[in-house]
Structure 1
Amino acid sequence: MDFYKNLPAGVFIGSVSALELYYGKELSEPVNLVLRGSLTDVAREFDDVDFPGIEGCDAVARYEGHTCLISCIDEDEPFPRMPFSVQNLYYDPRRRVFMDPLNIYYDIRRREPRLLDEVCCDEQTVIEGALLYSRFKYPRNRFYRGLDYNWEHISVYEQRLLLSRILKGKYAHRGLDILMRTGFISTHWPELARMDATEHAKEHHPEGNAWEHTLETFRYRKNTDLALSLGLLLHDAGKPAAKRNEGNTFDRHAQIGTGIARRFLERLEFERDLQDEVVFLVREHMLPAFIPRLPTYRTERSMSSPWFPKLLELFRCDLSSTFRGPEKYYEACTTYRSFLKYRKNPFRTAEGKKQLRLYVE
């Protein structure tokens, strides 16, 4: 998107957004902006301005239909100092030039982020690191090791924004891993932390426990759609509470996870339509494995949903993360294509059987 070329004078693109421009990636939302001016200038130049009280952000606003996180500085004030060296790159859309006030160009070229203050790694640094490593394929950095974190609960708005931004990153699994290892998830999202203590049988899930399996699914996404990503994040959330039953280690975990997913999304105040879509994905995530062998009357309602193609994509990611072959995914796709074909045919049932029609003149 090139909307940034029309930004008002005195507005600069910073942090991960500037890095995306430098690396030739499409700008993802929300876009990080720095405005030389006051909140009055923000209200004058931008639409739908909100002041959520986020650390390092003075306002959230819309510009030409895009969401922006805006920090305000005085005319003679230096740019905000970000914790990781590569985050201190800025782009001036008016002059179409990058600005490097802290001389960190070689870190960007080498793709080696480093902490500017090695002795200081607080909670906000961890959050910035999680965002950074979810967006770019930088070498693994254990900047958070050996430190004790006493997380304070942050607002629901900040939690939702943080989770959405990480999930929209190509390497979301890396950002989520950082939040888990530093205790952020156990403090704020305990229903996710329980998966890290839920072991899998190695013959079925050699990739690891329920949490490690969840992270592995993100490696196989073909896009960063938020509903799909939330579905992947929550599809096995019911396993910690599920019981063994007749050889099924996690009996009814999809049904249990449905309630957990709904409560989690409601607590973070995601939009209702998005909640409904994610809950559908969690509830039905086991179905694609069985639809080739189930009668159509039992699967017709689910396959008629506009969300079913996304369910197939979740199934592909889920299956691929276990290092199994894609045969079951292709079988499910074949069954779904046949269902769509016959559903449009007035002379056949949804299963493809001929049906009699009585014509009266």
Structure 2
Amino acid sequence: MLMDAKPGDYDIVTNAAPEQVARIFKRTVPVGAQFGVILVVIKGVKFEVAQFRNISGDSVEAWLREDVQHRDLTINGMAYDPLTEQIFDYVGGQEDIQRRIIRGIGEPRDRFLEDRLRMLRAIRFAVRFGYELDPATFAAIQELAPDIQEVSVERIREELLKILTSPQAERGVRLLDDSGMLPLILPEVAALKGVTQPPEFHPEGDVFTHTLLMLRQMKHPSPELAMATLLHDVGKPATRTVTDRIRFHQHELVGADIAENICLRLKFSTDAIEKITTLVREHQKFSHAQEMKTSTLKRFLRQKHFADLLELHRLDRMSSYRQLESYHFCKAKLKEFAHDNIHPPRLISGDDLVKLGFAPGPVFKRVLEAVEDAQLEGTVTTREQALAYAKEFQATGISM
């Protein structure tokens, strides 16, 4: 409210115990009842309701003054009474908003020892709002950085994604690196530093610099695209060779395996892992787009994640030697090809192949894909033509 920003959620503090809150409201979820926290859901809106840490005092203000001393950051340590429209600020939150500073409450080191995840949260809020990190707060993060390994990977993953999808993702990764947490959370990304590249294709510098430039240019990315951008070149350190020039043979394939392992380690969902690894694995194929035969190109363009893949390619090129011919070629082809041209209706089925005398088995897939390729090339357009095309395969003995 003070920053003229729409809140993402609502946190309420009260002297009511979780069991009392559960009796008052129809739908509640005990997210941390042992710590005095319960989630109240009203018309799809979630309210996190926490009990005051200490209610031994004789007034709400006394309870609140004690409570906020154990919140994480000053901008998160203020309270508002909607009935009296009164703001309670015992930690200098309003002043830090004016100064555009992220500062831990009281002794920052103590706040981070209460919950190590707060170190990531401090960086996340800094890059979300474009605020500076208070020097004492950042020094405490650097001191306690090794402790981030005590935090669950699920909580780390969520904060990492919020950093990567913030308006200052590049700065977020730099702060993670400067704090000492990046090598602990993502050693594969930290390993990109100092990995030199051929200057004719990458005048910007090493792989880490290239990756940061891509993060800087992202605009409202999906979490998966942001993660794929960060990881798209993680295969380069392992594949770097120097012959006539620096090369990274099949780094995208090696990188996809590394990205999958990272995502498994951070417990991403199965769907997210599939998308992120696909983006990493496929990002080099644009180099050959203009040479692809029509059927191959159409299959490439109709991929489920192609919109994000195309954007990853644009970011990649704009952060290196800025050649966008393949990007514009693919955009033009997407516009040129109608939906049915890229996703043609199947003209024949496995039952048709059985009737033609094909033996059931792997050959079915080969023949049906060949027929679809012919459709994509435009040489087969009717069921009769598709059956005749299949018979050609039968005549060559492919089914035997």
Paired residue type of 1:258: A
- Alignment partner of 1:35 out of 13, 29, 34: 13
SS of 1:196's partner is coil
Aligned CA-pair RMSD:
3.7
1:303 pairs with one of 301, 304, 315: 301
What's 1:109 paired with? Answer: 98
Among 277, 289, 293, the residue aligned to 1:279: 277
Tell me the equivalent position of 1:262: 260
The question of 1:151 aligning with 2:150 is answered: no
1:193 paired with 2:181, answer no
1:31-74: per-residue Cα shift (whole Å, max 9, x none)? 46243243435656555543499xx9956786654677665425
Report what 1:73 is aligned to: 52
Secondary structure of 2:193's partner? Answer: helix
Deviations 1:319-341 (A, max 9, x none): 22226254442222112333445
User: Amino acid of the residue matched to residue 38 of structure 1?
Assistant: A
Mapped to 1, the partners of 2:121 and 2:97 lie a distance apart of: 16
Q: Which residue of 1 aligns with 2:388?
A: none
Q: Is the 8 A contact 2:198 2:246 kept in 1?
A: no
1:145-177 per-residue CA deviation (whole Å, 9 max, x = no partner) reads 595445132212222222222223222222222
Structure 2 SS opposite 1:306: coil
1:85–1:116 Cα contact (<8 Å) kept: yes
Worse overlay, 210-219 or 70-79? 70-79
- 1:337 paired with 2:335, answer yes
Comparing 186-195 with 134-143, which one deviates more in the overlay?
134-143
Query: Aligned AA for 1:313?
Result: E
Once residues 145 and 10 of structure 2 are traced to their aligned partners in structure 1, the CA distance between those partners, rounded to angstroms, is 27
**Aligned partners of 2:192 and 2:304: how far apart in 1?**
29
Contact 1:91 1:98 in 2 (8 A): yes
In the alignment of these two chains, the number of paired residues is 335
Select the structure that is richer in helix.
Answer: 2
Counterpart for residue 132 of structure 1: 125
Higher relative contact order (Cα pairs below 8 Å, separated by 6+ residues): 1
Change (3 A) 1:301 1:69: farther
Checking the alignment, whether the CA contact within 8 Å between 1:291 and 1:335 is kept in structure 2 is no
Listed as ranges, the gaps of 5+ residues in structure 1 are: 1-20
Report the AA paired with residue 96 of structure 2.
Answer: D
1:35 alignment partner, SS class: strand
Give the corresponding residue for 1:240: 237
One-letter amino acid of the structure 2 residue matched with residue 23 of structure 1: M
Alignment TM-score, normalising by the size of structure 1: 0.76
1:8 counterpart residue number:
none
Q: 1:290 to 1:161 in 2, by over 3 A?
A: same
Q: Identify which range, 290-299 or 115-124, moves more after superposition.
A: 115-124
Whether 2:75 is the aligned partner of 1:86: answer yes
Structure-2 residue corresponding to 1:23: 3
Output the TM-score relative to the length of structure 2: 0.70
Distance 1:278 1:64, change over 3 A: farther
SS in structure 2 at match of 1:283: helix
Question: 2:210 maps to what in 1?
Answer: 213
Structure 2 runs not aligned, ≥5 long = 346-373, 386-400
